[in-house]
Structure 1
Amino acid sequence: MTTSGRSATRRKAPHVLAHAPFRRLWTAMGVCSLGDWLNIIAITAFAAYLTRSSGYQAQSFAIGGVFVVKMLPAIVLGPLAGAFADRFDRRLTMFCADLLRFVFVLSIPLVGSYQWVIVATLLVECVNLFWVPAKDATVPNLVPKDRLEEANQLNLLVTYGIAPVAAALFAVLSVVVETLGKAVPGMLWEPAHLALVVNAFAYLVSAFLIFTLKSIPKDHTTTVATPSVLRQIIDGWRFVGAERVVRGLVIGMLGAFAAGGAVIGVAKVYVVELGGGDPAYGTVFAAVFVGMALGIFFGPRLLRELSRRRLFGLAIVTAGVVLAATALIHNLPIVVMLVVVLGACAGIAWIIGYTLIGLEVEDHLRGRTFAFLQSLARVTLLLVVAVAPAIAGLFGKHELSAGPDIVYHFDGTNLVLVLGALLAIAVGVLALRHMDDRREVPIGSDLIAALRGERYVPESADQSQGVFIAFEGGEGSGKTTQSRLTAIWLRDQGFDVVQTREPGSTKVGMRLRAILLDAAHQGLSARSETLLYAADRAEHVEKVIRPALERGAMVICDRYVDSSLAYQGAGRELDQQDVARVNTWATGGLVPDLTVLIDTPPSVGLARLASPADRIEREPLEFHERVRREFRALAAAAPDRYLVVDGQQTQEQISLIIQDRLRELLPDPVPQETEAITGTMPAIRD
């Protein structure tokens, strides 16, 4: 007998890399990405080498100049390059771009002057601007539409995942050149020379792969103008400024970018000051991305019980503390280890930030929101990598003496890293204040409980013997039906079940419900509405829910605190922290053991309702869209407490999914099968 809502096994579609044209383009992207990352490391190392005899300040300014010319074209010429990719043969564009990059990069070690480094770097970055949009516009033409998301994930993997490989390759090339230098007297090449040659030939290999790719269409034309970076920033900020949580996420991510830019801007000089050469520089560069990979894959898994919003802010604060330690500890091996931890914190913040933004932003706005974030990140990085080396150079070198044998060196790179650390800590604290969804819980206690794999429950919340299950969802989502069916199913298992709802499950609540839902009370203010719901909830918890839990009953509640966070917080656009604080006080901190979110698009749910609608149902569609976004964000922030079910499935399918999850909460022995899908028939018993 079937006991789950899982669909029958279907034939697995072929992997996106099974499409030969896309596989060839993806390979070219991987080779180019290797060249791009190797170029960043090699160019900065070469600039430091060429100015090695000019002093500490000159080296700092030289590296800063390289970063400026690498970032500037993307801001100035980006829209032009995007328009070019939509008007000309993309295959020819990418092929010519690769050949030009090969020539320009190969010329850098051959000419061997800092002035040409700047000119060639500028030319390479200008050419890059034409290659990237041509590539991005080509991908949808090479894969089926239903595999485009998978293709984009692979593109991101090869774009960013190749960075540690490039850093490791640079370290190996550095060791090879240093070994040859000792074995072959008179050899004048530096590690950066060989790295730039390998970098150039990577572009040549990519050119060959693109040339042999015959499947790129040539009949595309468009007259749609690509907005400027400045316009993207202005349009994006209008949306971000109106969404509190998204605003906190963007501030946090940009702060992390700024702190990371400070590290990038002074890394080469700092490693030299610690007594390391090019192999050490490559190792530090790789350590950042190894740490990011570890943070992305393992960070959220290690702290499953910690709120995602809270983990986001804590990760940035921790990154700041680690960066401060990196600045003050003058030991290269320890610095490498700290950089891994720093990268891990950045990876945690990055993956959580992108995930929460994806949940908070509707699909038709998501693209421009991410474009806004990326554009603003470019500007932030440009400013920081330009200013950081300048600050380091102007500050110079200093020695702090605490005695004849105790001398502490503190130079400009230390200062920049300390400033970056302070910025990261401040931004992390600001992000926490902006979006912390568990203010009533001490951060230390919450973190310790999460490290133990537990969710911290405030002492004010009495430890009850029963199980508290709340059902949430928008209007017409089907949550009321599912809460009723769940109560029936649990009673059939022999449990003491209390089925209740909000508002209106007490005598006082019935009067409040009449006020809150009566369409005649359309003029009720948002704050009054919030307080009335909280008053109903306080009475409900004290008179119904807590007594039932204390006697060991199963409490099934149709709506609870999260409805106020969604409807009054997001829907009425009140301060989320104020709404949370009022409801925490009203309920004494009582939190459901499980919250079932029946996620249904508002357009679908509202169409299910019969008229006349109550006061909440009469709200415009935009109101209900905000409510749905907040429900989904709350679920993402506490995934282990939430079960999110697609409300467009059949009632039977939804019921089975809920029953499967409830079996994890119920005391043993629990029947593994029921006689009927809806749970209305007696269960099989031993």
Structure 2
Amino acid sequence: MTTPGRSATRRKPPHVLANAPFRRLWTAMAICSLGDWLNIIAITAFAAYLTEGSGYKAQSLAIGGVFVVKMLPAILLGPLAGAFADRFDRRLTMFLSDLARFALVLSIPLVGSYQWIIIATFLVECVNLFWVPAKDATVPNLVPKERLEEANQLNLLVTYGTAPIAAALFAVLSVIIEVLGQAVPSLAWEPARPALVLNAVAYLVSAFLIFTLKSIPKEHTVRVTTPSVLRQIMDGWRFVGGNRMVRGLVIGMLGAFAAGGAVIGVAKVYVAALGGGDAAYGTVFAAVFVGMALGIFFGPRLLRELSRRRLFGLAIITAGVVLAATAVIHNLVILVLLVVVLGACAGIAWIIGYTLIGLEVDDAIRGRTFSFLQSMARVTLLLVVAIAPALAGLFGEHSFSLGAGIVYRFDGSNLVMLIGALLAIVVGVLALRHMDDRRDVPIRSDLMAALRGERYVPESVEHSRGMFIAFEGGEGSGKTTQSRLLAIWLRDQGFDVVQTREPGSTKIGMRLRAILLDSAHQGLSARSETLLYAADRAEHVEKVIRPALDQGAMVVSDRYVDSTLAYQGAGRELEPQDVAKVNLWATGGLVPDLTVLIDVPPSVGLTRFASPADRIESEPLEFHERVRREFRALAAADPDRYFVVDGLQTPAEIAVLIQDRVREVLPDPVPQETEAITGTMPVIRD
């Protein structure tokens, strides 16, 4: 049932492109991406033209030199550029970078020498290293948290989707120049020159769009003015290595780049060995981007019920298996199909990785984290692209007789791709071990349920007939108030509601609460604290939550398992899997149907208390920052169970948002006799 005057259907948030500042930034990104791809094609074509009379080997080395120079600046300036994005005005950084790229690219056809191509390309890539992290760090500030994945999907669409458009544009431009050259001999230019001019114009248009974008926040520049640039770089690198989830993301994404680099290094030779020419190679190239587009847009949707953390690792493992099949199957048609699947797996991993990093990393160091990832990805790609062809050449060509006149060819390119496949599988397993947030659920059962559009629920909790809603958040977030307001609202809808809390919802739990929150017990060890919370939770589930659910009641709990994962797992820096195992056993696998996370920065939440009231509230700010990051990471990894609300809004606004979300999952009210349950419940008051 619904409240009078309010629709039962939740108001759907507007599309992310309805956000004018993001739409302007996205348009600039699209134009820049088109210019970047056009730059790669035009620069390599111009390098080949300028070395045309030097022979095949010299031409190949000239083109290869361009690729090496395009990746080399990441080694020198990548981390520094990320710190620049965190320290200075990001809008001004992007605007000046676009102007510099315009001038440098325009100079290439005007100077017309291979030496200047190398110098200008190096400088352009140096400038790119400042533009990209400033852009990536800005996006999460322009869109709501619940729209960040959609925004990243659109960003990746223009990043990779403009590649075939640039190729088609270059081809059309080539035809036009050829026709004009035949009609007017004085206009017989090489197509690379007008393509580079068009590329420069694209950067100039982007500069204009960025200059007119006035909505980019500048608060991050205030928070980081004291530390030196070197200190900021070290902090960003230390965060990547110290955060378990981000470490798993970086391992997985760099491993995927290494496997992709192995394919790039030998793809042309491999396609030629299968009897394919330039057209076949172009088809394989296009198949990668088609697959990535499919993976980015349809992968997470088809597996909506699968944990994002788990899907990330499984996508990389699957990519490794597909790459191994690509290496041993000698058929061009099958090769193209496998490359589509390979690209889809890469697209799934990339969109999940970028989204989780955007949600997990604080704005103050987000630029350095993205820059670190991009720099390491380029370095990895550079090393692998350099090593892979050499390794393939050393191994050489080999043929094996399998009997009955069957000869199987296994060359160096096959070996390199098999090594890349093995690497992808290994890093996928490592990433899964670092990030898996459903270790209690068998992967096969979880995956099969997700393919059916369902979320796998352990048999031990399938019998529950009610609904379980948990409220989570840091100190001062207002979750206690909101859980009470929701319980009142649900009763008004005709539901039987059991309002409860952790710790202290049972007689034993109240004694445990006194121990856990008493400031006199400051010497309590982290492991003991975790076990005491688990003991309270076991009593809570057995004596309160399960009986209420079995009778069809709505259970609204102020805190549950995720609080222990955040406070003891991240706050006390215990191993997450150990904390998860203890709580899995304590709860029998009971998971809330919906978890409402009220997200408030600790610097704000802690000020809502006149003085610290208990042992947890008196912990230092760094402790509460770790807790908040873990809450957000848990929400990002399981977006269908979590509903994240900005706790800086008024209590009334927050309550309306929560009611709208809960209304989506409510069953029809069926009143039942639950006096036996509610009669034993303590009254929860703020």
Distance 1:532 1:34 in 2: 57
- Code of the residue aligned with 2:191 in structure 1: it is V
Contact kept, 8 Å, 2:152 with 2:351, in 1: the verdict is no
Aligned to 1:201: 194
Select the residue among 73, 84, 98 that pairs with 2:105: 98
Count of residue pairs the alignment pairs up:
628
Aligned to 1:35: 38
Counting only pairs closer than 5 Å after superposition, residues 111-122 of structure 1 correspond to structure 2 as: 122=118
Aligned to 2:218: none
Contact kept, 8 Å, 2:66 with 2:121, in 1: the verdict is no
Deviation at 1:93, TM superposition (A): 4.0
Contact kept, 8 Å, 2:288 with 2:343, in 1: the verdict is yes
1:522/1:46 Cα in 2 relative to 1: closer, same or farther (>3 Å)? farther
Deviation at 1:460, TM superposition (A): 2.8
Aligned to 2:678: none
Aligned to 2:681: none
1:629 matches 2:658: no
Aligned to 1:400: 400
1:492/1:375 Cα in 2 relative to 1: closer, same or farther (>3 Å)? same
Q: Deviations over 1:542-600 (max 9, x none)?
A: 11111111122211111110000010011111111110011001111011111111112
- Code of the residue aligned with 1:566 in structure 2: it is A
- Code of the residue aligned with 1:313 in structure 2: it is G
Q: Deviations over 1:415-458 (max 9, x none)?
A: 11111110000000001111100001000110110111100011
1:102/1:139 Cα in 2 relative to 1: closer, same or farther (>3 Å)? farther
Deviation at 1:630, TM superposition (A): 1.0
1:74/1:478 Cα in 2 relative to 1: closer, same or farther (>3 Å)? closer
Q: TM-score, normalised by structure 1?
A: 0.80
Distance 1:34 1:67 in 2: 13
Bigger Cα displacement from structure 2, 88-97 vs 305-314: 88-97
Distance 1:213 1:315 in 2: 34
Aligned to 2:651: 651
The secondary structure found in structure 2 opposite 1:423 is helix
- Code of the residue aligned with 1:29 in structure 2: it is C
Contact kept, 8 Å, 1:41 with 1:282, in 2: the verdict is no
1:403/1:103 Cα in 2 relative to 1: closer, same or farther (>3 Å)? farther
The secondary structure found in structure 1 opposite 2:500 is strand
1:498 matches 2:498: yes
Deviation at 1:248, TM superposition (A): 0.7
1:132 matches 2:128: yes
Aligned to 1:257: 257
Deviation at 1:133, TM superposition (A): 6.3
Aligned to 1:453: 453
Distance 1:557 1:268 in 2: 59
The secondary structure found in structure 1 opposite 2:242 is coil
Deviation at 1:164, TM superposition (A): 2.8
Contact kept, 8 Å, 1:28 with 1:210, in 2: the verdict is yes
Distance 1:359 1:42 in 2: 40
Distance 1:3 1:93 in 2: 54
Distance 1:443 1:88 in 2: 47
1:296/1:481 Cα in 2 relative to 1: closer, same or farther (>3 Å)? same
1:355 matches 2:355: yes
Distance 2:301 2:487 in 1: 32
Select the residue among 3, 6, 9 that pairs with 2:6: 3
Contact kept, 8 Å, 1:69 with 1:121, in 2: the verdict is no
Aligned to 1:371: 371
1:133/1:317 Cα in 2 relative to 1: closer, same or farther (>3 Å)? closer
1:166/1:400 Cα in 2 relative to 1: closer, same or farther (>3 Å)? farther
Distance 1:51 1:318 in 2: 44
Distance 1:23 1:550 in 2: 50
1:88/1:366 Cα in 2 relative to 1: closer, same or farther (>3 Å)? closer
Deviation at 1:69, TM superposition (A): 3.9
- Code of the residue aligned with 1:38 in structure 2: it is I
1:152/1:318 Cα in 2 relative to 1: closer, same or farther (>3 Å)? closer
Aligned to 2:344: 344
Contact kept, 8 Å, 1:266 with 1:413, in 2: the verdict is yes
Q: Deviations over 1:153-202 (max 9, x none)?
A: 9887544331233455678899x89xx9xxx9xxxxxxxxx9x9434321
- Code of the residue aligned with 2:494 in structure 1: it is G
Distance 1:459 1:658 in 2: 29
Contact kept, 8 Å, 2:600 with 2:648, in 1: the verdict is yes
Aligned to 1:561: 561
Aligned to 1:415: 415
Deviation at 1:288, TM superposition (A): 1.2
- Code of the residue aligned with 1:282 in structure 2: it is G
1:517 matches 2:524: no
Contact kept, 8 Å, 1:467 with 1:552, in 2: the verdict is yes
Q: Deviations over 1:376-400 (max 9, x none)?
A: 1121111111111111111111112
Bigger Cα displacement from structure 2, 531-540 vs 202-211: 202-211
Q: Deviations over 1:219-238 (max 9, x none)?
A: xxxxx99x999998755331
Distance 1:214 1:460 in 2: 58
Aligned to 1:189: none
Aligned to 1:160: 160
Counting only pairs closer than 5 Å after superposition, residues 526-675 of structure 1 correspond to structure 2 as: 526-668=526-668
Distance 1:44 1:371 in 2: 29
1:610/1:89 Cα in 2 relative to 1: closer, same or farther (>3 Å)? closer
Distance 2:130 2:37 in 1: 18
- Code of the residue aligned with 1:390 in structure 2: it is A
Aligned sequence identity (%): 71
Contact kept, 8 Å, 1:472 with 1:596, in 2: the verdict is yes
- Code of the residue aligned with 2:289 in structure 1: it is F
Distance 2:473 2:206 in 1: 49
